[in-house]
């Protein structure tokens, strides 16, 4: 039977196979034809503890019999309150910096980022109404960044073929060069100069740029970026949608730099990957700028499913797992296993530029015609599919971001497939 589904990031004109997944457990996807796949990318970076994690699944089932959905404008419910308190408790906290103090819910990484941008602009707008500051509207972004696929999120991401059709709708931003090795000071100097022009905010993916190619930069640079923003009174926004929930080796990437952002967006692993939910955390000054007896100055943003009770129950169960289980220990074990195997793979002549941060690892396959729109990535996807592995390379960059339950045997299978891909597709010197 012909499917009527329109899939994301899929060119249906190429008639590539679309596997039908029937169920999942742990790090394994079970296909309708009886075969299995190891999920090497956490199903687009969301699944943390494993698919169908029992505690989270049970919380969802229980909540579905109590309260499913509630308008969140001027109403509340216990799961949302529990998660908000839990997020504030777990958020980066350092004595010398204002703490994140308020939580605004949404339902995806893109919308969490949109909320962050609107919070920042609303902050400056309201201060200007009170005569406390000039209105600011310019946003600074880091080169090669990706923050989502809604209009605002696309505007602050790298421009290219993936958003060219909507260029007329995208607003102008100031782009800071990526702090590549040897170019760190140029990045900081550019940020200093741009901040002197009094923009509203600077937004970054902390420590690692995901869709931009799994590009890493040091925690010391992130710390300097935040310090420059503080020096000039520019709001510092951390997009922890991908980097949060342990991916970089700490619960949030900003912890490694000793940074508390003014605004922080989280999503993906907030429910362990079980159900959509997102949140944008803000410091007290951001919230206070929107508090008034004037209804015209409230924060105008919502969606029908803001703080959905079932999604919040899943997030509450996830937070309990983080509090009560040694998740960071599992992450350290997995990261160590990846590091050992990645070092061996890096010796393969078809690969270059191996890199790792926490459980995120990437390596570049040296192959002819390796651009983002070449057929290399689709051929690699098909190659891995035949070997029982879900991977989705970014052009010639093959990356891993597995669930934390991935075991040693599964990891061996993953790296065996990577070695085989180097043998088949690599341009050997």
For the stretch 6-33, pLDDT in tens is 999 999 998 899 999 999 999 999 999 9
For the stretch 274-283, pLDDT in tens is 999 999 999 9
Q: What is the DSSP letter of 99?
A: P
Residues β-bridged to residue 104: 280
Residues β-bridged to residue 360: 357
Q: Which residues contact 226 (CB under 8 A, 6 or more apart)?
A: 236, 257, 259, 261
Side-chain-facing half-sphere of 210: CA atoms under 13 Å? 26
What is the chain's percent helix, strand, coil content, to nearest 5? 40, 15, 45
> How would you classify residue 358: left for phi > 0, otherwise alpha for psi between -120 and 50, otherwise beta?
left
Beta-sheet strands, E only, within 341-404:
351-357, 360-365, 389-390, 397-400
Residue 73, class by beta-carbon neighbours within 10 Å (0-12 exposed, 13-18 middle, 19+ buried)? exposed
pLDDT number for residue 1: 66
pLDDT number for residue 233: 97
Q: How far, in whole angstroms, is CA 428 from its chain's centroid? A: 34
- Low-confidence stretches of the chain (pLDDT < 70) are 1, 428-429
277 by DSSP, 3-state: which? coil
Q: How far is CA 116 from CA 33, 97, 238, in A?
A: 43, 19, 9
Beta-sheet strands, E only, within 113-214:
139-142, 174-176, 201-204, 208-209
- Tokens found for residue 207: 């420590």
> CA nearest 269: which of 249, 248, 246, 250?
246
pLDDT number for residue 280: 98
């Amino acid at each position: 039977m012909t499917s009527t589904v329109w899939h994301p990031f899929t060119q249906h004109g190429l008639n590539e196979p679309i596997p039908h997944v029937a169920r999942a457990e742990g790090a394994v996807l079970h296909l309708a034809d009886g075969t299995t796949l190891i999920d090497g990318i956490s199903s687009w970076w969301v699944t943390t503890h494993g698919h169908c994690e029992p505690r989270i699944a049970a919380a969802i089932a229980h909540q579905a019999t109590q309260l499913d959905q509630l308008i969140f404008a001027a109403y509340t419910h216990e799961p949302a309150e529990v998660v908000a308190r839990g997020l504030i408790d777990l958020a980066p906290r350092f004595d010398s910096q204002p703490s994140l103090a308020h939580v605004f819910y949404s339902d995806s990484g893109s919308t969490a980022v949109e909320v962050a941008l609107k919070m920042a602009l609303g902050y400056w707008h309201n201060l200007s109404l009170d005569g406390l500051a000039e209105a600011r509207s310019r946003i600074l972004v880091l080169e090669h960044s990706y923050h989502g696929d809604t209009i605002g999120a696309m505007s602050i991401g790298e421009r290219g073929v993936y958003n060219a059709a909507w260029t007329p709708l995208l607003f102008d931003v100031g782009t800071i060069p990526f702090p590549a090795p040897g170019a760190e000071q140029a990045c900081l100097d550019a940020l200093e100069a741009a901040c002197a022009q009094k923009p509203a905010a600077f937004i970054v993916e902390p420590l690692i740029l995901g869709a931009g190619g799994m590009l890493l930069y040091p925690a010391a640079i992130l710390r300097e970026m935040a310090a420059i923003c503080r020096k000039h009174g520019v709001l510092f926004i951390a997009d922890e949608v991908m980097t949060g929930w342990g991916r970089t080796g700490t619960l949030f990437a900003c912890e490694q730099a000793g940074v508390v952002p003014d605004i922080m967006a989280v999503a993906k692993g907030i429910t362990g990957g079980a159900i959509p939910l997102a949140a944008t955390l803000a410091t007290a000054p951001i919230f206070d700028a929107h508090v008034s007896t004037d209804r015209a100055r409230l924060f105008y943003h919502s969606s029908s499913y803001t703080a959905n009770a079932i999604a919040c129950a899943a997030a509450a169960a996830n937070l309990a797992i983080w509090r009560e289980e040694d998740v960071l220990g599992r992450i350290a074990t997995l990261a160590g296993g990846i590091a050992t195997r990645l070092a061996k793979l890096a010796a393969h002549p078809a690969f270059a530029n191996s890199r790792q941060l926490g459980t995120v690892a990437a390596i570049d396959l040296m192959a002819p015609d390796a651009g983002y729109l070449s057929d290399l990535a689709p051929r690699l996807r098909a190659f891995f599919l035949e070997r029982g592995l879900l991977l989705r390379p970014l052009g010639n960059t093959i990356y891993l971001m597995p669930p934390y339950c991935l075991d040693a045997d599964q990891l061996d299978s993953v790296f065996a497939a990577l070695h085989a891909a180097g043998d088949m597709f690599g341009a050997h010197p």
